[in-house]
Each structure stands twice: as C-alpha cells, then as structure tokens.
Amino acid sequence: MEREGNSEKTLRRSKTKKGSNTIPLAGGAALLTLAVSLVITAINSRRNSKRKDLPGCNFRVNLSASEILKLADRIIAKSKEVNDAVASIPLDKVTYKNVISPLAELEAQQFPLVQSCVVPKLVSTSDKVRKASAEAEKKIDAHISSCSKREDVYRVVKAFAAKGEWMGPDARHYVNCLMRDFERNGLNLTTTKREEIQRLRAQIDEISFQYVQNLNDDSSSVLFHENELAGLPAEFLKTLEKAENGMFKVTLKSHHVLPVLELCKIGNTRRLVAMAYGNRCGKDNISVLEDLVQARHKFARLLGYSNYAEYALSLRMAMTPSKVLEFLEDISSSLSDLANKELATLKELKKQEEGELPFGVEDLLYYVKKVEQQEFDLDLGALKQYFPVNLVLSGIFKISQDLFGLRFEEIADAEAWHSDVRVFSVFDLSSGELLGYFYLDMYTREGKYGQTCVVALQNGSAALNGARQVPMALLISQLQKDIDGISNLLRFSEVVSLLHEFGHVVQHLCNRASFARFSGLRVDPDFVEIPAKVLENWCYESFSLKLISGFHQDITKPIKDEICKSLKRWRYSCSALKLKQEVLYCLFDQIIHSAENVDIVELFKDLHPKVMLGLPMLEGTNPASCFPRCAIGYEAACYSRIWSEVFAADIFISKFRDGLLDHHVGMQFRTKVLAPGGAKDPVEILSDFLGREPSIQAFVDNKIECIISFLSCHHLTQLALAADLGKKR
C-alpha cells in the first residue's frame, strides 16, 4: 500500500478548475456512456469467427504443447545461426550492418516468439501446455545464458565498438549495453578469473537458495492458552491447530503472526510471538548470510568493482552506495519529528490500555491498528459495493484517455487462451494511429499464475523490414469471479493494484524507443515502478476516485466525499513510523553489501535504536537471519521501493495534483517520460519533465502536511500533546 497523496485544499481547487469542463456528467453517468460504447464495439465484431492475426503482432496465442516445443527449438536454432554468422565476421570487416543490426533484429523478432512459448506457463488452462511451456523456458534460458558467454561474439562486438563508427545516440547506447552485458559476465577477463566468476555465481545462487529454503522449512510454533489469545476473532482461533494439552498452536507463518501482532490484547503474547518470529532460523543462519555477502563481494571485486553494492548499483538510477545511503538517511531524518509524534500517540494509547509498561517494537502493529480502528470509520468490506469491476475498468480507460490521449477499443473476436480474457487495441486519440495491444486476464482460476503483474508479450521497435513492431502487454490479476457474473465487486486494495498495473501497461504502450531492448519494461529498475506509482494517486483523490466508482445497484451514485477523505487519511496513518522501519532494513541491506567484514548481528542492534527513535531491537531476535529480500532478488536494492515512491510523489505533487485530468501535462508525461523508455538516462528524463532535478522535498513536505492535518483534526493530537508535555516535565 502506498502512503503519499496530497492535501484537501488543492484537491478542492483542482475539482472546481477541471471538474466542469472535462467531465460534463457526474462520475458514474459519464462512465456509463463509455462502458456502453465498449459493449457496442464488442457486439459488432462478435459475428466474425476468431481472428488469429492482429496487424503488427508476432506473438502467437494459445499454442499447443507440441507447437511450443517445436517453436522453442526453432528459436534456438535461429539464434545460434545469427550468433555464428556474427562471430564469423573478420575483425577488420566489422560494420554496424553486419554486427549490430543482426543482433538487434534477432532480439526484437525473437522476443514475442519466446513469450509465445513461456507465457502459457503462467496462463494456460491445460496442464500439458503449462508443462511444455516450462520445459521450453528452461531450454531457451539455458541457450540465452550460453549466448551471453560467447567470447567469439564479444570479440566481434568489441572490435566494432573500438572502430568508432558514427552512430545515433540510441544505437550507441545499445552497443554499450551489449558490451556491458558481456563484461558483467567476465568476458574481458582472463580465463582463470572468468571461471572463478562462474563458480562464484553458482555458489551465490546456492547459498541464497539455502537461506530462503531454511526459512520456508521452518516449522516452529508457539503454544498459547485461549485467554492468552484474547482479542483474536473466533474464526481465527478455529483455524489454529491444537496441541495435546489443548493449547493453541501459532506457527511462525505470516498468516498467523500478523493477526496476533495486530489484534492480540495480551502484550506478553505479542512479545513472545514477535521474538520467535524475529529469531527464525536462529543464530546459525546468520553465518549463511555472512557467507553469501562475502561471496558477493568477491564476485564484484573480480569484475573490477570495490564491493557488491557498487556492482549492483552501477546499472541503476541511484548509481552509487553513497548516494543510496544519503537518500535513506535524508528520508529518515526528515521524518523523525513526525514519526516521534506518531510514536508518542501510540505510547499514550499503550499507557491507557496496559499501564506503565515500556513500549517495544512488538507493540507497533497492535497500536497502529488501534489508531486505524478508532480514527477511521472505514468499512472496507462495504466499500466494495462502490467498485463493480466494469465500472472501475471504464473509469481507468477514461482517465488514460483524457490524460494520456489513449483510446482503448475491445476486439471481441480476438483469440486468447481463455474466454474470460479480453483483448484491446490501443490507439492514439488524436491521430488514430495504432499504438499496440493490451490483453487483460483478470480472474483467478486453477493453474493460473498467482501474482498480479504485467507481462510484455511484444516490445515496440523501429521498422523491421519496413513495419514497426507494436508493443503488446498482458495484465494478469487475481480477482475472484462472482458466480452470478452480474457485478463483480473489487476491494479497494484491488482497485489500487489494478490502477498500478495499468500504469505499467500505459508505460509499455507509450514506449517509443527504437530498440526492443529499451522499449519493454526492462528500463532502469529504479525507474520502472515510478509511472505505476504515480498513477496510484488517482485512487486517493475524491475527484478521480469518483470516476472509477459507483454504487453497484445504481452506478450514477458515486462514492461519498467523507469516504474519500477517510481513505486518504488511512493512507497516511502512522506512515512516517512505518517508513522509518522500512528504512532500517534498507540501510542494513545497503551497508552489508557495500562494506567488508561488517558484524551483521551488531549492525542491526546498532541501527535499530538510531533509526527507530530509541526503540531497541527486540531482545533475542536476529532480523538478519530472516530477511529474505536481502538474500535474494533485492540484494543491495531494497531501497528501490522507497526510491520510486519518493520520486513518483515528486511527479504527482509537482505536476498532476492540481489537474488530475490535465491533458497537456498528461501528454508531456507521455512524450517526455514514457516515450524514451530505457534509451535515455532516467535522471535526465525526469529533469526534463519536471524542469529541475527530481527531489525528495515534495514527498517529505506532503507527508508532513498530510499527517499534521490528520493529527490536528483528531483527538489523537491531544494524546500526542499530552505525551509531549509529559516528556518535557
């Protein structure tokens, strides 16, 4: 859940300014018009039989198991042929045309075919097809990995780069990326060193896998009597296993731990559970992390970097470990005052409920929840009634039409892998140009991939044999299909996540980079989440929330203003404190990956009170032994989530907050931020759009403004003030 947004004052301003001319009808009614036009398009084209080919599309839909395996073999054979041909060019005959073009074209042409083989693993309804797809993926991955280690191809590309032939900026960037990828595999090193690199990489994979495996295998639990679990709902207790002595067994899996920490009234129970949870895999496993970090540093040093973080960050917007540390420390210190106020409130609540007991980290979730229960009359269950899925969708289409000039038109006869899947053509609103395609696979079903995400099926790229390949995106989400199928209702969190993912779709469709490599979502990983996070903000402004909502039995009735306001306050509740806790983990991750011989147990003990306003680490716990993000997937990059949130807030507040449907700003965003894709430096992109360098200030100021306004209109302020006074006395 994201935690920034903006003030009510500017919200009202934007509403009067934009509300009257852009949306002539009230929320639901306007959308109804749009929804109807979508339905009509759908009906008109349903007469034809299934259309297999969409113009400009090389992605193959719904292949059978044997077709997938055959295609995978063809892909590999073709790739080998092209790589061999490039490798055979004499070093004194290298040109752009015989070295770079063939490689770029191969990538662009093969990507949609590769996706035709591997996407069925995620979405096919047939077990056999999913198996074939997984097998094809394995083969293709192994082949791609072997290509990235081809010294003969590297030598030719290097010879071309050294020649200094004139190229446009995109092509130059592309060549640099090719070289860099080879070199990150150690291809410019001696054979001994290169072998050492391969060995270390395998070792790193193995150790990180072991760390996570240990956590998954952990089956410890803590036993409690019923009275020790006071506060937890009866339905929850029913799900717990019982030991022979009749006590309840709380496992250390998050679906047990979280409810206890949030709801259990007995402080000692929360403490015991938090301790056991923070001590999973014990002290022993600390050594696994130590080995892992050491292997990573060794790996990075062989490649010429002074530590692992430097290696990992060299491809990211943040660039250097010192920049990341500075960023995290800035955020943390800017939010200290605010977090202190929040903490004072929580401490006061604890005093009222439990008397003079010290407040510990194990109390955080419980009292945060308490604040939320006391302060927001938000019934998230009832809120669902305002979010019928089709209305939400047409609202989202409406927003992207008004803002970014995109028109979505459903193709009812397009072939897909399941009858629930909807396919849309996307056009530029003013020129009518076909921009790409969008597949929407919304509902959960047996065998379908279990995460919400966007997958690139095909990336845009400049004229291959004359025709531009258009981008195609697939959005996979996990909504429950209502059996009656009349009006599927979404939870608010699902609405936010849908808009977020839709941000990725828009980003993919608007990307105009000429190389397929830069035109997908494979842009800088510190940048890739920014557009999606910008778009989430539309869920927290009354004006735009009304566009994507309407009472399910009468969609002309939009959501009430008070509810919109509550949602926004809810977004900010205790958010400074929560963010500081995240900063703590990010700092830990960055420090162990950017310095040698750090005592990882001491480091956590030392950082904890510093970042968490004096709260000590819970005794006996070892957060370093159960922090999987720093072991696999996000090593040296945990900060990236906060990073993209902060710069997304900068963009939203500086450019969109006062004009939620400002077409001019939306188009600027489309052409300046989305269109260049991965072909341009993200800092340059954002600076160009913002008219200055991106900064953390807007994020910090907005947070302060929102939290203060929240605190000042509630009785909690009195609590906080009382606590402040108490401190002074």
Confirm or reject binding of residue 108 to ligand NAG (CB under 6 A): yes
Q: How far is the CB of 500 from Zn ion (least distance, A)?
A: 6
Contact call for residues 366 and 264 (beta carbons, < 8 A):
yes
Residue 266 CB neighbours (<10 A): 18
Confirm or reject binding of residue 415 to ligand NAG (CB under 6 A): yes
Which one among 6, 62, 345, 654 touches ligand NAG, defined by CB under 6 A? 62
- In SS3 terms, 617-673 reads as CCCCCCHHHCCHHHHCCCCCCCCHHHHHHHHHHHHHHHHHCCCCCCHHHHHHHHHHH
C-alpha span between 417 and 411 (Å, rounded): 14
Cβ proximity to ligand NAG, 284 vs 329, nearer residue: 284
Q: Which does 349 bind (CB under 5 to 8 A by kind): ligand NAG, Zn ion, none?
A: none
Q: Which of 228, 501, 529, 536 is catalytic?
A: 501
C-alpha span between 665 and 672 (Å, rounded): 10
Q: Which does 532 bind (CB under 5 to 8 A by kind): ligand NAG, Zn ion, none?
A: Zn ion
Q: Which does 62 bind (CB under 5 to 8 A by kind): Zn ion, ligand NAG, none?
A: ligand NAG
Cβ proximity to ligand NAG, 421 vs 489, nearer residue: 421
Q: How far is CA 35 from CA 409, 485, 509, in A?
A: 11, 17, 22
Cβ proximity to ligand NAG, 28 vs 112, nearer residue: 112
Which one among 2, 107, 501, 541 touches ligand NAG, defined by CB under 6 A? 107
Q: Which does 442 bind (CB under 5 to 8 A by kind): ligand NAG, Zn ion, none?
A: none
> Which of these segments, 93-101, 283-291, 568-576, 710-718, binds ligand NAG (CB under 6 A)?
283-291
Cβ proximity to ligand NAG, 26 vs 179, nearer residue: 179
Size of the site for ligand NAG (CB under 6 A): 29
Q: How far is the CB of 438 from Zn ion (least distance, A)?
A: 16
Q: How far is CA 546 from CA 78, 162, 331, 559, 640, in A?
A: 52, 58, 32, 6, 31
Q: How far is the CB of 532 from Zn ion (least distance, A)?
A: 4
Cβ proximity to ligand NAG, 278 vs 520, nearer residue: 520
Confirm or reject binding of residue 188 to ligand NAG (CB under 6 A): yes
- In SS3 terms, 402-464 reads as HHHCEEEEECCCECCCCCCCEEEEEEECCCCCEEEEEEEEEECCCCCCCCCEEEEEECCEEEE
Confirm or reject binding of residue 203 to ligand NAG (CB under 6 A): no
Q: How far is the CB of 26 from ligand NAG (least distance, A)?
A: 38
Active site residue 501: yes
Confirm or reject binding of residue 106 to ligand NAG (CB under 6 A): no
Residue whose pair of structure tokens reads 């108490």 in the numeric block:
726
How would DSSP label each residue in 320-387? SHHHHHHHHHHHHHHTHHHHHHHHHHHHHHHHHHH-SPPP-GGGHHHHHHHHHHHH----HHHHGGG-
Q: Which does 537 bind (CB under 5 to 8 A by kind): Zn ion, ligand NAG, none?
A: none
Q: Angle at Cα 536 formed by Cα 532 and Cα 539, nearest 5°?
A: 155
The residue number whose beta carbon is nearest to ligand NAG equals: 520
Buried/exposed code over 569-604 (b: 16+ C-beta within 10 A; e: otherwise): bbbbbbbbbbbbbbbbbbbbbbbbbbbeeeebbebb
Q: Which does 111 bind (CB under 5 to 8 A by kind): Zn ion, ligand NAG, none?
A: ligand NAG
Contact call for residues 288 and 214 (beta carbons, < 8 A):
yes
C-alpha span between 436 and 355 (Å, rounded): 62
Q: How far is CA 8 from CA 542, 565, 568, 571, 659, in A?
A: 9, 8, 9, 14, 14
C-alpha span between 347 and 367 (Å, rounded): 8
Confirm or reject binding of residue 516 to ligand NAG (CB under 6 A): yes
Which one among 131, 522, 560, 565 touches ligand NAG, defined by CB under 6 A? 522
Q: Which amino acid is at 595?
A: A
Provide the mask over 447-466, with x wherever binding to ligand NAG is found by CB under 6 A and - wherever it is not: ---------x--x-------
Cβ proximity to Zn ion, 501 vs 662, nearer residue: 501
Token output for 90: 């004499």
> Which of these segments, 181-189, 399-407, 427-435, 557-565, binds ligand NAG (CB under 6 A)?
181-189
Contact call for residues 341 and 720 (beta carbons, < 8 A):
yes
Which one among 71, 72, 261, 281 touches ligand NAG, defined by CB under 6 A? 281
Cβ proximity to ligand NAG, 284 vs 693, nearer residue: 284
The residue number whose beta carbon is nearest to Zn ion equals: 532
Cβ proximity to Zn ion, 375 vs 529, nearer residue: 529
Token output for 705: 């403004």
Confirm or reject binding of residue 609 to ligand NAG (CB under 6 A): no
Token output for 212: 């996570």
Q: How far is the CB of 583 from ligand NAG (least distance, A)?
A: 27
C-alpha span between 418 and 445 (Å, rounded): 10
Confirm or reject binding of residue 520 to ligand NAG (CB under 6 A): yes
Residue 108 CB neighbours (<10 A): 22
Q: How far is the CB of 252 from ligand NAG (least distance, A)?
A: 11
Token output for 489: 């209702």
Q: Which does 459 bind (CB under 5 to 8 A by kind): ligand NAG, Zn ion, none?
A: ligand NAG
Which one among 341, 517, 580, 703 touches ligand NAG, defined by CB under 6 A? 517
How would DSSP label each residue in 42-110? HHHHTTSPPB---TT-----S--HHHHHHHHHHHHHHHHHHHHHHHTS-GGG--IIIIIHHHHHHHHHH
Cβ proximity to ligand NAG, 524 vs 635, nearer residue: 524
Which one among 14, 79, 214, 537 touches ligand NAG, defined by CB under 6 A? 214
Radius of gyration, alpha carbons of the chain: 27
Contact call for residues 299 and 207 (beta carbons, < 8 A):
no
C-alpha span between 346 and 340 (Å, rounded): 10
Burial (0-12, 13-18, 19+ Cβ within 10 Å), 729? exposed
> Which of these segments, 22-30, 80-88, 277-285, 473-481, binds ligand NAG (CB under 6 A)?
277-285
Provide the mask over 287-326, with x wherever binding to ligand NAG is found by CB under 6 A and - wherever it is not: -x---------------x----------------------
Which one among 242, 418, 481, 727 touches ligand NAG, defined by CB under 6 A? 418
Provide the mask over 515-534, with x wherever binding to Zn ion is found by CB under 5 A and - wherever it is not: --------------x--x--
Q: How far is the CB of 539 from Zn ion (least distance, A)?
A: 14
Cβ proximity to ligand NAG, 188 vs 203, nearer residue: 188
31-60 positions binding ligand NAG, by CB under 6 A: none
Q: Angle at Cα 382 formed by Cα 376 and Cα 384, nearest 5°?
A: 110
Which chain residues interact with Zn ion by CB under 5 A?
529, 532
Q: What residues act catalytically? A: 501
Which chain residues interact with ligand NAG by CB under 6 A?
62, 64, 107-108, 111, 180, 183, 188-189, 214, 218, 281-282, 284-285, 288, 304, 415-419, 456, 459, 516-517, 520-522
